[in-house]
Amino acid sequence: MAAPNTLPVYRRILVPTDLSERAERALAHACALVAPKGTIHLVHVMERHEAPNPLYAHYGPVIPTAEEWERMRREASVALDSLARTCPPPHGVEVHRHVLEAPQGHVVTVLCRAEQEFGAELVCIASHGRSGLKRVLLGSVAEALLRRGRVPTLIVRVDDADLAHD
C-alpha cells in the first residue's frame, strides 16, 4: 500500500473513447498519470444494433451490411490512431489501440471485460457533462462504468463550452 502522502502509480490505464474531441482530454489525463514504461489501452466499442421487428423496421436503426461494418471498423481504427497522436505518451509508455464490438445495450459490459482482460489499474473516461433529462434519455457510459467497474475511475468532465474555447 502506498504511503499516505504519495500518489498511486498506474501501470495500466484503460481509456474508453467515443472518438469525440472529449476523448483527447481523457487521454491527456491518462498520459499524465501513467507510470514510466506503463501501458495505455485506448478502446473504442462499436455497438451492434439488432435487426428491428419487420413490423416496425422503419422506426429502428439502419443495420449496416458486413461490408459497411468492416469499413466502419477500419474508420474507427484510423480515428484511434489519430487520437493517439494528439497526446504523445511519456517516453517508454506504450499505447495499445483496440476496436471492440458489443451487442446493442452492452457497451459497458464489454468495457468492464476489457478492464479485467487488460489488467487496468485505472479507467480514465471523458464525460459529456449532461444532466437532467438528457442524461436520462441518452444515458451515461461514464456513470455506468463508475458503478460497475472494479478499479478506480477518473471521469474527465468536458462541457461543450470547454470545447468551444479551444
Q: What is the pLDDT along the chain (166 residues), one digit of tens a residue?
A: 556 678 788 999 999 999 988 889 999 999 999 999 999 999 999 998 776 666 665 665 677 888 999 999 999 999 999 999 988 878 889 999 999 999 988 999 999 999 999 999 999 999 875 555 544 444 588 888 989 999 999 999 887 665 555 5
Question: Which residues are within 8 A (CB) of 85 and not within 5 positions of it... i.e. 6 or more apart?
Answer: none
**Which of 138, 131, 116 lies closest to 41 in space, CA to CA?**
116
Stated pTM of the model: 0.84
Which domains are present in the chain? 10-164 (3.40.50.620)
